Amino acid sequence: MADSTELETRARAVLSPVLGHYTWLPIERGEGSWLHIQGGRRVLDLTCGIAVTPVGHAHPRVVAAVRDQVAKLSHICAGVALYEPNIALAERLVEIAPSGLDTVFLGNSGAEAVEGAVKLARQATGRAGIIVFRGGFHGRTTGAATLTTSKSAYRRGYGALLPEVHTAPFPYPLACRIGPEHDAEVCGEHTLAEIDAMLDHEIPPEHVAAFLIEPVLGEGGYVAAPASFLRELRALADRIGALLIFDEVQTGLGRTGTWTAAEKVGVRPDILLLAKALGGGLPLGAIVAPRELHAKWQTSTHGSTFGGNPVSCASGLATLDVIRDEGLVDRANHLGRVIVEELAPLRRESRVREVRAYGAMVGVEFDEAASAKAAIAGALAADVLLITCGAHDQVVRFIPALNVPEDDLRAGARTFIRAAQGAVVPASA
């Protein structure tokens, strides 16, 4: 193993070992798509801190907005008094969200948005049942962990979690029990048949408050549900009087080549959840839904001290401005194509099962975790930071900043190929 740094030694002594670490890189600062590591090394960040920094690190417009706001007002609580960035961000989200989703609750994180959405769905429908999809990741709080099925380890040892949560399969051909030799549409039909069976055998339709789905599995492996499946799910929710919640915490705000995945597939959810990229690097989450639905959420039965904090909102607004002004939503599609083009040689590798892209979310599925982990270790040894996802960490995901210079991205992808082919031997090997 590479020598540990002084920062790592201190971290291991004082921080809880519960947090899993992809790396122990001691970072001094970030600039654009580059991380400057103590000691002078520079690493290309193709993780965006797990899909959080869409305009890179320390973008001058975001830094200026944060400085300006923190000097004016860093906190008052949205329930105590009004402030401009909070309202302006909500107004901007309404412009970005599918039509009709015109009312916003701001929180601090993805998990908090998910938990709030479940409370909203249950209270508004008077029903308790939530149907989630296998492989989905919705967060680490107790409720969100109950809804999360990307890895069973996320529930280990936690005893009884939320009641009335039911898990349907997700249309993921490579993980499907009917075998991998079919396309996503067929998998979608199979999944819908499974949901019908659930409604016959496990949960009466009139008990279902909501379907909660990531249109593209994030932590679960970078797998997109086909548009046809999501349209059918929308129709099913309407038929049984349930709500459709899209968890777009990882997909939202340009990453998919549209402002939301909902826009890309042409399906309007009842509730849209955003976080991660929303704060441009600061903590922020949002529950976006039609006013008539929010109106059924009884006043004061939900709230948050820090939710929609002025500095996070200013950072989020500046980030959305940069995404809009620099045309980064369209660029996400281009970046995905660039990565797929560069990774073409990997398709010949027997250990690579699939390379798939959805806007600027690209997943490379390997035969097993060891192959994926060796590839990211090799890439890191050559100064390219990537992380895995998938139930077994068998998928490497590319999550570049949407303004990453194309040459850097191409060079990073080529480095990854050499690492995946075993041409770069990590120091820890």
Ligand X SMILES: Cc1ncc(COP(=O)(O)O)c(C=O)c1O
Name the site residues for ligand X (rule: CB under 6 A): 50, 109-111, 114, 137-139, 214, 218-219, 247, 249-250, 275
Which of 219, 145, 237 has its CA nearest to residue 392? 219
Which of 44, 69, 72 has its CA nearest to residue 57? 44
CB nearer to ligand X: pick between 109 and 403 = 109
Contact 207, 129 (CB under 8 A): yes
107: β partners: 285
Query: What is the CA angle 328-388-150, rounded to 5?
Result: 100
Contact 280, 311 (CB under 8 A): no
Q: Which two tokens stand for residue 226?
A: 């086909």
CB nearer to ligand X: pick between 199 and 399 = 399
Q: Which two tokens stand for residue 236?
A: 């099913």
Q: Beta strand 216-217 with 243-247: parallel, antiparallel or unpaired?
A: unpaired
CB of residue 347 to ligand X, shortest distance in Å: 27
CB nearer to ligand X: pick between 214 and 408 = 214
β-sheet with 165-168: strand ranges across = 103-107, 285-289, 271-274, 243-247, 208-213, 129-133, 165-168
CB nearer to ligand X: pick between 38 and 158 = 158
Residues in the chain: 429
247: β partners: 273
CB of residue 341 to ligand X, shortest distance in Å: 26
CB of residue 283 to ligand X, shortest distance in Å: 7
CB of residue 234 to ligand X, shortest distance in Å: 19
- Closest CB to ligand X belongs to which residue? 110
CB nearer to ligand X: pick between 19 and 82 = 19
CB of residue 332 to ligand X, shortest distance in Å: 17
The owner of tokens 């270790």 is 377
CB of residue 138 to ligand X, shortest distance in Å: 5
Q: Where are the alpha helices (DSSP H) in 226-342?
A: 227-240, 261-265, 291-294, 310-325, 328-342
CB of residue 51 to ligand X, shortest distance in Å: 7
CB nearer to ligand X: pick between 137 and 358 = 137
CB nearer to ligand X: pick between 127 and 138 = 138
CB of residue 312 to ligand X, shortest distance in Å: 12
3-state helix, strand, coil in the chain (%, to 5): 40, 20, 40
In order of 31, 114, 220, 257, 400, the CA distances from 333 in angstroms are: 23, 27, 21, 5, 12
CB nearer to ligand X: pick between 138 and 268 = 138
